[in-house]
Amino acid sequence: MSAVSDDDVGWLLSADAVRRRAHAILAKAERGDLAHFELRPDRLLDAAALVAAVTRESYPDLDVPYHSRWRHFVVEGEDRWAALAAGLTVDGDEIARIRFDLAVTSVLLDAGAGDRWRYRDATGLELARSEGLAIASFDLFRSGGFADAPVHAPLRADAATLSTMTGTALARSFQAGPDNPLVGLEGRAALLRRLGSALTAAPDLFGTPGRVGNLYDTLKAQATDGTLPASAILGAVLRGLGPIWPGRIERGGVNLGDTWSHSAVGLVPFHKLSQWLSYSLVEPLEGAGIAVTGLDRLTGLPEYRNGGLLVDSGVLVPKDPRLLIDELEVGDEAVVEWRALTVALLDRLADEVRARLGVPAESFPLAKVLQGGTWTAGRRIARERRPGGGPPIRIRSDGTVF
């Protein structure tokens, strides 16, 4: 058991808590003390070799961008955000606010789409999963779907409009229906409504009237000599957006969000979407001239591509074969165990990948290993193993975790 109490809310809402509890579970795996997964550390080298090969193939010059939502706005070589931004006639601060508006709404709509859903864009291109969700959310944002004044100021995410988002409206924009089902549709709409409420409830972060993009100004004001620690981004995200998550585990009246229980160590926080969002806010800040430091204080993302890579490459072996057959709930202890092991093993995998690529951690942080990287390798091996490229372990999503 970790020495830090499960009642220490401030600590549980931190990347340090995610990493320490994940490594506590990995330590038990190394002793063979876990109920659901066997660890085969010798296979980690094979996984690292695959990730390094995929990284060199995708980025021969090893100039790898951060793993963030911005990568999903590039489709078949066309950077749709860059094309949109090129036509804007606003100053750098407003560009950053717009990017915050887009990143937050798109990331919150990014939870697993399921195997059957597809999105067809204006060019006729058909996209699925994260790529489809990214472009669907991008198109909705660009059309003013989150703005109070969609005709005059469409590129905003405003509290009032977000607060009235319905599943019907979201289904229409995402082309979802009985023949094209999108997993967790109502959960996504509810998440956006709660986002609208959270913006109004925290004017110190989001201004009055509430707008997502005003968080940029809040973080800019926290920068010292033009630098901002990544932990400050995550802290603001967890504080400002904490109330939007469905009620799960609370301590002292505080919703702990993506935090679950494991019998071996107590509460295990992940904050997957919050960290994914924090990674996605780095580029808007850097684009506005604010240097973000300490990026590796954040953790790897415990989602089905990274976790799937570890299962498909044999690093993690389910002790019960039914874990590869049944659809599981996100709070099942086996899923908590899988996600925690993913976080901890990504730290070790990153070291092996950097060694193979001959790059130092200082210039090749975890956010680049993920992009290079583990996410792409996880998708590739999934496609090799299963028709449709789904994950080896299936989770029943409510649209707010994966």
Higher-confidence residue: 208 or 388?
208
pLDDT in tens, 308-335: 999 999 999 999 999 999 999 999 999 9
pLDDT at 150 over 70: yes
Q: Which residue has the tokens 């092991």?
A: 341
% of the chain beyond a pLDDT of 70: 98
φ, ψ dihedrals at 67, nearest 5°: -75, 110
Q: What is the pLDDT of residues 263-297, one digit of tens each?
A: 999 999 999 989 999 999 999 999 999 999 999 99
Burial 67-94 (b: 16+ CB within 10 A, else e): bbbbbbbebeeeebbeebeeeeeeeeeb
Q: What is the pLDDT of residues 104-135, one digit of tens each?
A: 999 888 877 778 899 999 999 999 888 899 99
pLDDT digits (tens, 9 = 90+) for 91-104: 999 999 999 999 99
Binned at pLDDT 50, 70 and 90, residue 2 comes out as very low
| Residue 1: predicted pLDDT | 43
pTM beyond 0.85, yes or no: yes
16-20, 127-131, 222-226: range with lowest mean pLDDT: 127-131
- Under the banding of pLDDT at 50, 70 and 90, the label for residue 3 is low
**In this model, does residue 207 exceed pLDDT 50?**
yes
Summary mean pLDDT of the chain: 94
Predicted confidence (pLDDT) at residue 244 exceeds the cutoff of 90: no
φ/ψ of 291, rounded to 5, equals -80, 130
Residue 398, pLDDT score: 62
In the 3-class helix/strand/coil scheme, how is 46-61 assigned residue by residue?
HHHHHHHHHHHHHCCC
Among candidates 301, 310, 372, 273, which has minimal Cα distance to 56? 372
What's residue 400's pLDDT?
A: 64
pLDDT in tens, 56-76: 999 999 999 999 999 999 998
Residue 123: strand, helix, or coil: coil
